[in-house]
Structure 1
C-alpha cells in the first residue's frame, strides 16, 4: 500500500522530467510516460539561452534569495532564540508574547505593503530577505532546542572568562547543528517557493525569481510576456509543453538537493526542538 502511494506521488515528477527531455512529436502522440522518447536536451538549451523568457536570470535570482535569505534568517533566528532562552533576560516572556501576537494576528496585505513601502523595500531584492527573517514557529523550535542544552556549559564558559557572544558562537552554535539544519531547510524551501511576495512587491522583471516566471508562463500567462510557440532545434520539435516541463524541473530540482544534506539532522532537530525546556 505504501509502495503504491509512493508511486502515485512520484509519478507526476517523473513524467514532467521525461517530457522535458523528450521530442515534442513523441509528447504530442502521447507516448511519454515514465521514460523519455527521443531523448534530447534541446529544451533546456533553448530556455537557458533565450533571454526573452528570463529563465536564467530568474534562476540566478532564486539562488541568490534562497542562499542569502536562508543564511540571514538562520543567523537572526539563532541569535534571537539564544537571547530568549536565557532566564536572566528581563522581560523575555513579554518579548516572546509580542512574537506570538504578531504571528497569530496578522495585519493583512495592505498594512504590510504600506510598511514595506515606507521602509523602501518595494522593488528591492531585500523584500525577499528581510520581512521573513524570523519565523515565530522556527524561533520557538530553536529556543526549545537551546533550552535542552545543559546550563553547566554556560556556567563553565563564564568561569573561564567568556562573554555572551563568545559563549553563543563557540559553545552553543557548534552544538546546535541539528536545529540549524532543520530551520535552514524550512527557510530555504519557503524562500525558493515564494511567488506571491515578488508578484506584489517586485515590479522590475529583472528581479523576478524562477517561481514567478513559472507562474506567469504556465499558470497565468502574462499578456505582455513572450508567448510559447512550437520550436524546431537541432532536428527536435519543442512544444510549449516541453518548455513548461523544463521550467518546472528547473524550479523544483535545486531545492530537492537541500534535503539529502540536511536529512541526518532533520529528525534530531525537530524532536529535540519540540521538547519543553
Structure 2
C-alpha cells in the first residue's frame, strides 16, 4: 500500500535535486572559470572543476583601480549595510504603530502606503523630485527612497498583529511608554521578521541597477552592478574592457576576469543566507498569516 507513495517521494526528491543542480551549476561554472588558467578556459575543457587553479584574476581586478571593481564592491557594501539598517529600523518603527488598534486612522495610512505601492510616479517625476532634494549624484539616493518597502511593511505589520496584546497591557501596567514598549518588548520578540526583512532589503539594495544607473553618474559612487555593466555589457560603447594579459606566468583571458568580477558581485549576498535561514522561513510564514 505504501509503495506508490514511496515511489512518488523518490521521484519528487529526484526532481527537486535536479532542479537544485541546474540552479547551482552556473555559479559553479563561473567560479571554476575564474579560478582556472586561461589556457584551459580557451581550450573549452572547463565543465565543472577548475583547472590550473590560481587567484590571479581576483588579485588583478581588485588591485586595478581602472576597473573600479574594488570601489564598486565597497560602495555596494556601504549601500547595503547602511541602507539596509535604516530600512529595517524605519520599517519596524512604521509597522509597529500601524499594528496598534488604538492608532486613529491607521487603515487610511495603510491605504496611502498601498496606493504608492501600486501607482508609481515614473522615472521623470522621480528624477525631478530627487534633483530638487539634491539626491542626484549623492549616496543618499540609494538609501532614503528605499527606507520603506510596502511589501515588507505589510508582512512586518502582520507579524506584529499576531503578537499577544497582553504584552503591551502588562508593559503599560509596569509604567512603560510607547517607545519603551516598542523597543524593549516587541523588538526583541521580532527577531524572525527582522531577519526576514533584513535579507529582503539587503538583496534588494545590493542588486539595484536602474536607480544607480540613472542617478549616480559619478564613477566613484557607482555600485558593483553598474561597474559590471560598464565592464561586460557596455565595453563596446566606451566602457571599461578586459584584455588578454599574463600575470605571474598565468594567462588571464577576458573570460577569467569577467567570471571573477561576476562571482565577487554574487558571493557576498549569498553568504548571508546560511546565517539567517532559520529566522527567514519562520518570519515570512508568520508575517503572512494575517494582513
Q: TM-score, normalised by structure 2?
A: 0.93
In 1, Cα distance between equivalents of 2:233 and 2:239: 13
Alpha-carbon distance, 1:222 to partner: 6.3
Aligned to 2:118: 104
Aligned to 2:255: 241
Give the secondary-structure state (helix, strand or coil) at the position aligned to 1:232.
strand
1:101-126 Cα offsets, whole Å, 9 max, x none, are 01101111111111111111000000
Aligned to 1:212: 226
In 2, Cα distance between equivalents of 1:4 and 1:82: 42
Contact 1:85 1:143 (C-alpha < 8 Å) held by counterparts: yes
Tell whether 2:1 aligns with 1:13. Answer: no
1:220-276 Cα offsets, whole Å, 9 max, x none, are 226343321001001111000100000000000000011111100011101110112
1:73-93 Cα offsets, whole Å, 9 max, x none, are 000000000010111111111
Show the 5 A alignment for 1:13-92: 13-92=27-106
Q: TM-score, normalised by structure 1?
A: 0.98
Contact 1:179 1:269 (C-alpha < 8 Å) held by counterparts: yes
Aligned to 2:178: 164
Report how many residues are paired. 277
Contact 1:73 1:133 (C-alpha < 8 Å) held by counterparts: yes
Equivalent of 1:118 in 116, 122, 132: 132
1:179-198 Cα offsets, whole Å, 9 max, x none, are 00001100000000111110
Gaps of 5+ in 2: 1-14
Equivalent of 2:205 in 191, 197, 220: 191
Equivalent of 2:158 in 121, 140, 144: 144
Aligned to 2:9: none
In 2, Cα distance between equivalents of 1:233 and 1:253: 24
Contact 2:142 2:212 (C-alpha < 8 Å) held by counterparts: yes
In 1, Cα distance between equivalents of 2:25 and 2:233: 21
Contact 2:87 2:148 (C-alpha < 8 Å) held by counterparts: yes
Gaps of 5+ in 1: none
Equivalent of 1:258 in 266, 272, 289: 272
CA RMSD in angstroms comes to 1.0
In 1, Cα distance between equivalents of 2:16 and 2:115: 40
Contact 2:196 2:279 (C-alpha < 8 Å) held by counterparts: yes
Contact 1:216 1:222 (C-alpha < 8 Å) held by counterparts: no
In 2, Cα distance between equivalents of 1:225 and 1:130: 29
Tell whether 2:286 aligns with 1:272. Answer: yes
In structure 2, the CA distance between the partners of 1:51 and 1:23, relative to structure 1 (3 Å rule), is same
